[in-house]
């Protein structure tokens, strides 16, 4: 076995062959699924906890505060302590609430983000499922989350929750279009929906540089629309704490609340990952065609680091504008989507198609 941090393909093959050598192919497949599931769960928890910590530090930085700094060095164990607290809290059941849907809702939300994460390429070969319709799959699966939010609002037997859920429904259904169309712009350029191929195509230049202005417009639209889709500020109308106390998760406590909380951060991580993969080359190092020496040096940085760096940068951008802007109103939110982002997007796709037809892209 040759373990190589630049290419995980041989490592995967070694595990696969090793398992197949002493059990039947069916059992080997099931074992592989279990291993991947456990690895993803761990990854999910660690990234979620780290993102909560990062958000608190970025927010503190924006607000002239120190942020968590008591539990562990620089407060890095603060979120773990919070998580333990949430685990131990009592689960409050609401009178006259729909018990089944009330309990089901957080799982739907968390499963949706979990499933979408499986299509993201983290590095070469480090990829749970490599669909040939990867982007379509991610869009389809991630929009399941809204069902969970709607159920949470409906089953809580609380008017604030219901208003929050309805807002969220209108918002996510609308912004789904912009997310889809902005990704479609890049599909036009790439000619494929498979994530691994999209990344491979960016070997000699990321799409944001290759695609001229349409790619940049598509990236900005994607950033705005995906922030809205993940219910983050300035589009956090579904939980608008000054209007609806906490929106759809007002009545949730303990670990169920933690599920919503974690899912929000993982959705943010997911959209940042997709933005990084589709627009910024995913794990592909920064290459300039013709600069062989420079490209070799860039190749020495492991792909996983490239991927994490790009994702972290986009998450940081999203955090910055969450802590800067005030919240929109529901009608303004829908106006922004249907009257501005959607027409811009449609024109942008035409522009991109024209560019590809004329071979004007790099």
Partner 1 sequence: MKEIINLPVSNIEEEEYHINMGPQHPSTHGVLRLLVSLQGEMVRSLKPHCGYIHRGIEKMCEKDTYPQVIHLTDRIDYLSAHINNHAVCLLVEKALEVDVPERVRYIRTIMDELARIQSHQLWWSSFGMDLGGLTCFFYGLRDREMILDIWEETTGSRFLQSYNCPGGVMQDIHPNFQKKVHAFLKTFKKKIKDYDRILSGNVIFENRSQGVGILSKEDAISYGVTGPSGRGSGWSCDVRKTEPYSMYGKVQFNEVLRYECDTYSRYMVRMQEMHESMNIIEQLIDNIPEGEHSAKMKAVIKLPAGEYFQRVESARGELGLFVVSDGNKTPYRMKFRTPSFSNLSVLDHISRGMKIADLVAIGASLDLVIPDIDR
Chain positions contacting partner 1, by CB under 8 A: 59, 62-65, 159-160, 163, 167, 233-234, 236-237, 240-245, 323-332
CA–CA dist 201, 189 (Å, integer): 10
Token readout for 124 is: 């070469």
- Measured from the CB atom, is 112 or 163 closer to partner 1? 163
CB of 284 to partner 1, least distance (A): 35
3-state DSSP assignment of residue 190: helix
Enumerate residues 6+ apart whose C-beta is below 8 A from 37.
Answer: none
CB of 243 to partner 1, least distance (A): 5
CB of 336 to partner 1, least distance (A): 10
CB of 151 to partner 1, least distance (A): 20
What separation, in Å, do the N-terminal and C-terminal C-alpha atoms of the chain show? 39
Enumerate residues 6+ apart whose C-beta is below 8 A from 141.
Answer: 112, 115, 116, 119
CB of 63 to partner 1, least distance (A): 4
- Measured from the CB atom, is 138 or 264 closer to partner 1? 264
Place of tokens 């960016």: 202
- Measured from the CB atom, is 334 or 353 closer to partner 1? 334
Give the helix ranges, DSSP H, for 77-133: 78-88, 99-117
CB of 64 to partner 1, least distance (A): 6
CB of 31 to partner 1, least distance (A): 47
- Measured from the CB atom, is 291 or 340 closer to partner 1? 340
Token readout for 77 is: 């164990």
CB of 323 to partner 1, least distance (A): 5
- DSSP per-residue string spanning 131-170: -TTHHHHHHHHHTTHHHHHHHHHHHTT-HHHHHHHHHHHH
Token readout for 125 is: 């070969």
- Measured from the CB atom, is 140 or 166 closer to partner 1? 166
- Measured from the CB atom, is 73 or 326 closer to partner 1? 326
Find out whether 82 and 142 touch, Cβ atoms under 8 Å.
Answer: no
- Measured from the CB atom, is 70 or 159 closer to partner 1? 159
CB of 245 to partner 1, least distance (A): 6
Distances, alpha carbon 279 to alpha carbons 127, 190, 219, 358, in Å:
18, 11, 7, 21
- Measured from the CB atom, is 9 or 324 closer to partner 1? 324
- DSSP per-residue string spanning 2-37: ---TT--HHHHHHHHHHHHHHS-HHHHHHHHHHHHH
3-state DSSP assignment of residue 123: strand
- DSSP per-residue string spanning 314-336: HHHHHHHHHTTSPPPPHHHHHHI
- Measured from the CB atom, is 234 or 302 closer to partner 1? 234
Longest distance between any two alpha carbons in the chain, whole Å: 68
């Amino acid at each position: 076995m040759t373990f190589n941090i630049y290419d995980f393909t041989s490592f995967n093959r070694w595990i696969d062959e090793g398992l197949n050598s002493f059990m039947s192919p069916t059992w080997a497949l099931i074992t592989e699924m279990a291993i991947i599931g456990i690895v993803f769960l761990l990854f999910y928890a660690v990234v979620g906890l780290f993102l909560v910590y990062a958000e608190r530090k970025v927010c503190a930085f924006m607000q002239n505060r120190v942020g968590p700094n008591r539990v562990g060095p620089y407060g890095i164990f603060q979120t773990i302590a919070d998580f333990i607290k949430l685990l131990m809290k009592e689960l409050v059941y609401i009178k006259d609430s729909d018990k089944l849907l009330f309990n089901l809702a957080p799982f739907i939300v968390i499963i949706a983000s979990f499933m979408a994460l499986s299509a993201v390429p983290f590095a070469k070969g480090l990829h749970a499922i490599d669909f040939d319709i990867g982007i379509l799959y991610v869009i389809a699966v991630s929009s399941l989350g809204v069902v969970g939010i709607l159920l949470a609002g409906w089953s809580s037997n609380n008017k604030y929750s219901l208003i929050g859920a309805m807002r969220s429904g209108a918002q996510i259904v609308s912004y789904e279009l912009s997310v889809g169309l902005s990704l479609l712009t890049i599909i036009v350029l790439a000619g494929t929906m498979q994530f691994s191929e999209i990344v491979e195509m960016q070997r000699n230049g990321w799409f944001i540089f290759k695609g001229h202005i349409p790619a940049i417009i598509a990236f900005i639209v994607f950033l705005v629309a995906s922030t809205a889709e993940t219910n983050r500020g300035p589009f956090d109308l579904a939980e608008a704490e000054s209007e609806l106390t906490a929106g759809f998760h007002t009545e949730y406590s303990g670990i169920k609340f933690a599920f919503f909380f974690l899912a929000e951060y993982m959705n943010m991580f997911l959209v940042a990952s997709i933005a990084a993969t589709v627009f910024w080359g995913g794990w592909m190092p920064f290459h300039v065609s013709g600069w062989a020496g420079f490209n070799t040096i860039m190749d020495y940085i492991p792909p996983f680091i490239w991927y994490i760096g790009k994702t972290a940068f986009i998450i940081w951008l999203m955090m910055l504008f969450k802590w800067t802007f005030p919240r929109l109103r529901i009608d303004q939110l829908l106006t922004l989507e249907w009257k501005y982002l959607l027409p811009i997007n449609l024109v942008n796709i035409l522009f991109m198609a024209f560019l590809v037809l004329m071979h004007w892209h790099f």
